[in-house]
Amino acid sequence: MLQVAFIKENKEDVIARLAKRNIDATKIINDVIALDEDRKAIQTNLDNTKAESNAISKEIGNLFKSGEAQKANLLKEKTTQLKEVTKTLEQQLNDKVDGLNELLYRIPNVPNPLVPAGNTDEDNEETFREGDIPTLHQGALPHWELAKKYDIIDFELGNKITGAGFPVYKGKGARLQRALITYFLDKNTAAGYTEYQVPHLVNEASGFGTGQLPDKEGQMYHVTADNLYLIPTAEVPATNIFRDSLLNESDLPSAITGYTPCFRREAGSYGAHVRGLNRLHQFDKVEILRVEHPDNSYKALDGMVEHVKEILKELKLPYRILRLCGGDLGFTSALTYDFEVFSTAQDRWLEISSVSNFETFQANRLKLRFKNSEGKNELCHTLNGSSLALPRVLAGILENYQTEDGIKIPEVLVPYTGFDIIS
C-alpha cells in the first residue's frame, strides 16, 4: 500500500509511473488527497473538541472546590454536548479512514523507473540468456507424454481423486520431485537463508498484508467455514512472520526460505498452453524472501537474481531473464525479473521464477518497520522470489534431458535422487 505522504509529496510522479501500468490514476490519486484533507480537518476538530472538554472538566472541578456548584452544573451541560460532538466526530473520522484505506488498497505499487512501458508479456525486456538449447532425437515427446510413457506422473488419477490440475507423482517421478525440493532448500540455506516451515492456510489479515487480498481474492481457495485461505505461495505466510514488527537496524537483512505446496484456482485458464505441468491448481515451490534496509534492497534484488541463475546453471537448463513491463507487472511489485526455461519439446519458454522488489508497499500494509540510526521508525523493504517453482522446472528437465534410452537426470541431482536415468 502506498503511503499518503508519499502520494501527496510526489503526486505527478506517482500518476506518471502508474501510467506505465496503463492506468490513468489521476482521479483516484486526487480522491486520496481530498479524502486525507477531510480526515485531517475532522481530526483537528476532534482534537480541539477534546481539548475544550478537558479544559471545562478541569474548570468544573475547581468550581466545585470553591463552592460554586451552580456554575459547575451549568458547565456540566456543556461537557455533555461536547461528548456528543466528540462521538459524532469520531464516527466521521473512522468513516474517512475506512474510505481512505479502501482507496489505497485499490492502488497498485508504483513501478521502478527501470520498468519498461508496455501492455502485455510481449513487451517485456530480455536482459540475459544462458545455456544451449539441446537438439532432441526424432520422436521426442512433450513432458505429459513422457510422464505417461515412463509412469512417473498420473494426471488422470489426480483428476479422479480431486480434479484437473492436481497430478499424482509416482515412483521415480515422486523421488525426482523430492530431490528438487531438497536441492533447492540446500542451495538456499547455503546462501544464508534460514529455512522455515510455515502454515499452508492463512487468515484474512495475512492476505491483506502481502497484497493477495483484495486484488487476487478470486484466485485463492477460500475455506469459508473458518474464513481461511489456502496459500498461493509461501511468500504469504513467510512475509507475515514480520507483520506488526519493529526491528532494529542491526536485524537487517533477514533472509528466509521455505518449501510449501501452493494452491491457485487459475480461473479461466484453458487451452494447449496449460497442458500437463504447465499450469496446475496445486504445485510445489521453494521460496526465498528478504527483509532489507531501503538503501540495500536493489543490491539484494540483484543478488537474488544471481542466486537463481546459479541454480539453473547447475541444472544445465537453457533459460532467459525478462524485466517485466508495466502492463505485466504484479500488483504489489515495483520491479520484477522473470526466469523462463526453454522447453525444447514444446518449442516455447516456460516461466519458472519471479524475483521481485516490493519496496515499502507490503511493509506499509504489514506495519513492518525498523528503527534507523537516528532513532526514527522507518518502513522496511520486502523482496521475494521463487527458488524455484517445481512443475515447469520438472517439465524442462523431462523434455530437455530426454534421450532414446530414457530421461537422464541432471548431474547435480543424482546424489539426491539415487539414480541417473528414468527408463
| Stated pTM of the model | 0.92
Residues 240-258 have pLDDT tens digits of 999 999 999 999 999 999 9
Query: Could you tell me if 224 and 302 lie in one domain?
Result: yes
Q: Residue 273 — very low, low, confident or very high, per pLDDT cuts 50/70/90?
A: low
Domain-located, residue 54: yes
Q: State the average pLDDT for the chain.
A: 95
Collapsing DSSP states into helix, strand and coil, what is residue 331? coil
Domain-located, residue 114: no
Query: Could you tell me if 297 and 362 lie in one domain?
Result: yes
147: its cell numbers: 510422464
**Which of 58, 81, 106 is at the close of a domain?**
106
Measured CA to CA, the distance from residue 291 to residue 298 in angstroms comes to 12
Query: Could you tell me if 191 and 79 lie in one domain?
Result: no
Mean pLDDT in residue range 111-136:
95
pLDDT at residue 271, rounded to an integer: 56
**CA torsion angle 296 299 301 305 (round to 10):** -160
Query: Could you tell me if 231 and 347 lie in one domain?
Result: yes
pLDDT at residue 272, rounded to an integer: 53
Domain-located, residue 32: yes
Residues 81-115 have pLDDT tens digits of 999 999 999 999 999 999 999 999 999 999 999 99
Domain-located, residue 113: no
Query: Could you tell me if 261 and 364 lie in one domain?
Result: yes
Q: Give the residue numbers spanning the domain of 391.
A: 121-422
Of the listed ranges 109-118, 188-197, 211-220, the least confidently predicted one is 211-220
pLDDT at residue 235, rounded to an integer: 97
Query: Could you tell me if 229 and 362 lie in one domain?
Result: yes
Measured CA to CA, the distance from residue 334 to residue 346 in angstroms comes to 32
Query: Could you tell me if 186 and 297 lie in one domain?
Result: yes
340: its cell numbers: 523462463
pLDDT at residue 382, rounded to an integer: 98
Domain-located, residue 258: yes
Percent of the chain with pLDDT over 90: 89
Measured CA to CA, the distance from residue 123 to residue 116 in angstroms comes to 8
Domain-located, residue 112: no
Degrees (nearest 5) of the Cα angle 354, 115, 296?
70
**Total domain count, the chain:** 2
Of the listed ranges 215-219, 288-292, 365-369, the least confidently predicted one is 215-219
For the cut 80, the answer to whether the pLDDT of residue 164 exceeds it is yes
8: its cell numbers: 501527496
Q: Which residue has the cell 466521521?
A: 92
Label the pairing between strands 319-323 and 254-263: unpaired
Query: Could you tell me if 98 and 149 lie in one domain?
Result: no
Q: From 348, 343, 341, 278, select the one nearest 309 (Cα to Cα).
A: 341
Query: Could you tell me if 59 and 153 lie in one domain?
Result: no
**CATH number for the domain harbouring residue 51:** 1.10.287.40
Query: Could you tell me if 81 and 153 lie in one domain?
Result: no
Query: Could you tell me if 183 and 91 lie in one domain?
Result: no
Number of neighbouring beta carbons within 10 Å of residue 362: 28
Domain-located, residue 78: yes
For the cut 60, the answer to whether the pLDDT of residue 269 exceeds it is no
**CATH number for the domain harbouring residue 322:** 3.30.930.10
pLDDT at residue 270, rounded to an integer: 54
pLDDT at residue 62, rounded to an integer: 85
Domain-located, residue 116: no
Residues 199-209 have pLDDT tens digits of 999 999 999 99
**Which of 63, 81, 106 is at the close of a domain?**
106
Residues 15-48 have pLDDT tens digits of 999 999 999 999 999 999 999 999 999 999 999 9
User: Which residues make beta-bridge pairs with 291?
Assistant: 254, 382
Q: From 258, 266, 264, select the one nearest 240 (Cα to Cα).
A: 258
Measured CA to CA, the distance from residue 369 to residue 419 in angstroms comes to 47
For the cut 80, the answer to whether the pLDDT of residue 267 exceeds it is no
Q: Residue 66 — very low, low, confident or very high, per pLDDT cuts 50/70/90?
A: confident
**Which of 106, 139, 157 is at the close of a domain?**
106
Query: Could you tell me if 19 and 163 lie in one domain?
Result: no
181 or 80: which leads in pLDDT: 181
pLDDT at residue 76, rounded to an integer: 84
Residues 217-242 have pLDDT tens digits of 789 999 999 999 999 999 999 999 99
